[in-house]
Amino acid sequence: MKIGVGIRNMGPQSTRELLTACASAVEDIGLESIWITDHLAIPPDDAEGSGGRYLEILTTLAWLAGITKRVKIGSAVLVLPYRAALLTAKQIATVQELSGDRLVVGVGVGWMDPEFQALGVNRHARGRISDETLAFFNDCFAQDEVEANDQMFLFKPRPVKPPFLIGGRAPHALKRAATYGDGWFPVVKGPEDIASALPAYRALTKAANRPPGNITISTRLPLEDRSQTRTLYDQYQSLGVDRLVCGLSYDTIETFQDQLDKLSRALS
With H, G, I as helix, E, B as strand and everything else as coil, classify residue 76: strand
Share the mean pLDDT of the chain.
Answer: 97
**What is the separation, in whole angstroms, between the first and last Cα of the chain?**
12
Asked if the model's pLDDT at residue 268 lies above 90, the reply is: no
CB 124, CB 51: distance < 8 Å: no
Q: Where are the domains of the chain?
A: 2-267
Query: Tens of pLDDT along 231-267?
Result: 999 999 999 999 999 999 999 999 999 999 999 999 9
pLDDT reported for residue 47: 95
Residues 6+ apart with CB under 8 A from 25: 253, 256, 257, 260
Report the C-alpha gap between 161 and 91 in whole angstroms.
13
240: left (phi over 0), alpha (psi -120 to 50) or beta: left
pTM, two decimal places: 0.97
Could you tell me where the beta strands, DSSP code E, fall in 66-163?
A: 72-79, 103-108, 145-148, 151-154
Residues 6+ apart with CB under 8 A from 117: none
Report the C-alpha gap between 216 and 185 in whole angstroms.
5
Asked if the model's pLDDT at residue 230 lies above 90, the reply is: yes
**CA-based torsion, 243, 68, 98, 13: positive or negative:** positive
DSSP for residue 175: H
Query: Tens of pLDDT along 74-125?
Result: 999 999 999 999 999 999 999 999 999 999 999 999 999 999 999 999 999 9
Q: Look up residue 246 and give its amino acid.
A: C
Alpha helices in 223-268 (DSSP H): 226-239, 253-267
Q: Which of 246, 254, 180 is nearest to 210 (CA)?
A: 180
Q: Which of 5, 32, 8, 13 is nearest to 263 (CA)?
A: 5
φ, ψ of residue 105 to 5 degrees: the values are: -110, 100
pLDDT reported for residue 35: 98
Q: Look up residue 164 and give its amino acid.
A: F
Report the C-alpha gap between 67 and 99 in whole angstroms.
10
Query: Tens of pLDDT along 144-186?
Result: 999 999 999 999 999 999 999 999 988 999 999 999 999 999 9
CATH number of 2-267: 3.20.20.30
